[in-house]
Amino acid sequence: MQQEPSFTLTAGPVIASDRVREALGAQIVYDYDVPFLDRFRRTQEKVAQLFGTQSDVVLMQGEAVLGLEAATRGIVTADTTCLNLVSGVYSKWFGEKLRTLGPKKVIDIEVPFDSAIDPEAVEGAFRDHPEIGMVSVTHCETPSGTLNPIDEIGQIARAHGAMTICDAVSSLGGEPVRVDEWGLDLCVSAPQKCLGAAPGLSMVTVSERAWEVMRGNPNAPRRSYLSLLDWKERWEEQGQYPYTPSVTDVTGLEAACDEILEEGIDQSIERHRHAARACRAGVRAAGLEVWPRTEEIAASCVTAVKVPEGVDEAELRRVTRDRSGVIISGAQGDLVGKVVRIGHMGVVSRSLYPLIGVVAVADAVRELGVPVDLGAAAEAVVAALSEGVSAQA
């Protein structure tokens, strides 16, 4: 039997803080007893605060893919022209899923997976296709560690009267996500990334406009596990859950929200950015390369590191785990074989975790026969970590 890793530096699920673990270990309670009813409402409000929205937040059971599918089925009809912005594995997958719903048309804007979507191109798409009714975008493409400018994209879509579906699964808590300010109609996230809670829930924000579109969509799921409208009509309007909520996951999520809200959302974001910057500095100092084309689009939640010539990606991860007890994330989709990923989500955005990630990967690369400068890598991470901030520990 393989030992538990000493350090989990993955792209999610990630380790939880003691406080979140204690919450997850709390006694199971009855979902209609007042303390849990209160907890459920409070958790919705806290999640709304993280998202920067006054709109409804639906807490669905099932990890984030459920929320993304529910959002999409809710608003896409046979008459919808969709604009899908493809900058990585998740947005490409989203486009495939979208096509199975039979919308009128799906237009893709695709950029290389080490790049970000240019808002100008989105404007251009609206000029060419004013009929676009929905724009889908992934905020952080976790498989490539890149960010898209959802602030501008959201506002462009809103200005043209189109709905937006935003996948903010890995960015919430680690990057600014301002749903109302940026006009994002359906924004989806999950507890197991930067919030540092357990996988199993989808958090979906739904704007008033999105509710209207859903009510007018004859194909919007009803009496279904995928139904956002069921939540609206039964929970928000009648105080009845459509099905038994996972009390444990909600309890864990509330604790994770409390931690971030007490720290401050901006501080949480800066903590993730700080860790990721230090990691990138270390990767480069080692003589390795980071995957995102520019610093500006490099994500704070995960660092994708290019696998050097002649090294096998799976082997690199295996050696990293065997030699150092550090588990990192592999590549997905079109990036398989090209990158490995060091996560900075939640707890591991603190202290010297980025140092451990960089040293473990660099050490494994060296073991596999590619020279790296381990000393320079360690120096660079420590120097970057000590820059400016003393409150990270």
Ligand X SMILES: *Cc1c(COP(=O)(O)O)cnc(C)c1O
CA angle, corner 220, sides to 123 and 162, nearest 5? 15
The residues that touch ligand X, with contacts defined as CB under 6 A, are 12, 63-65, 90, 138, 140, 142, 167, 169-170, 190, 199
Whole-number minimum distance, CB 391 to ligand X, in Å?
A: 27
Which CB, 170 or 324, lies closer to ligand X? 170
Whole-number minimum distance, CB 140 to ligand X, in Å?
A: 6
Which CB, 66 or 286, lies closer to ligand X? 66
Phi, psi torsion values for 122, nearest 5 degrees: -70, -45
Whole-number minimum distance, CB 180 to ligand X, in Å?
A: 21
At 326 the three-state DSSP class reads: strand
Report yes or no: 134 and 82 within 8 Å, Cβ to Cβ: yes
- As a whole number of angstroms, the longest Cα–Cα distance in the chain is 64
Which CB, 176 or 199, lies closer to ligand X? 199
Which CB, 72 or 77, lies closer to ligand X? 72
Token pair for 178: 């301002």
Which CB, 80 or 170, lies closer to ligand X? 170
CA distance 389 to 278: 12
Report yes or no: 15 and 346 within 8 Å, Cβ to Cβ: yes
Report yes or no: 270 and 387 within 8 Å, Cβ to Cβ: no
Whole-number minimum distance, CB 64 to ligand X, in Å?
A: 3
DSSP 235-297: IIHHS--SS---HHHHHHHHHHHHHHHHH-HHHHHHHHHHHHHHHHHHHHHHT--BSSSSSTT
CA distance 116 to 146: 7
Whole-number minimum distance, CB 248 to ligand X, in Å?
A: 16
Q: In which order are the strands placed within the sheet that holds 186-189?
A: 56-61, 201-206, 186-189, 163-167, 132-138, 81-86, 105-110
Q: Which residue is nearest to ligand X (CB)?
A: 63
Whole-number minimum distance, CB 62 to ligand X, in Å?
A: 8
Whole-number minimum distance, CB 161 to ligand X, in Å?
A: 26
Whole-number minimum distance, CB 11 to ligand X, in Å?
A: 7
* SS3 of the chain: helix, strand, coil, percent, to 5: 45, 15, 40
CA distance 156 to 97: 24
CA distance 143 to 343: 11
CA distance 181 to 353: 33
Whole-number minimum distance, CB 144 to ligand X, in Å?
A: 10
Which CB, 5 or 199, lies closer to ligand X? 199
Which CB, 176 or 325, lies closer to ligand X? 176
Whole-number minimum distance, CB 171 to ligand X, in Å?
A: 8
Token pair for 315: 């082997």
Which CB, 72 or 170, lies closer to ligand X? 170
Which CB, 136 or 138, lies closer to ligand X? 138
Which CB, 12 or 74, lies closer to ligand X? 12
Phi, psi torsion values for 362, nearest 5 degrees: -65, -40
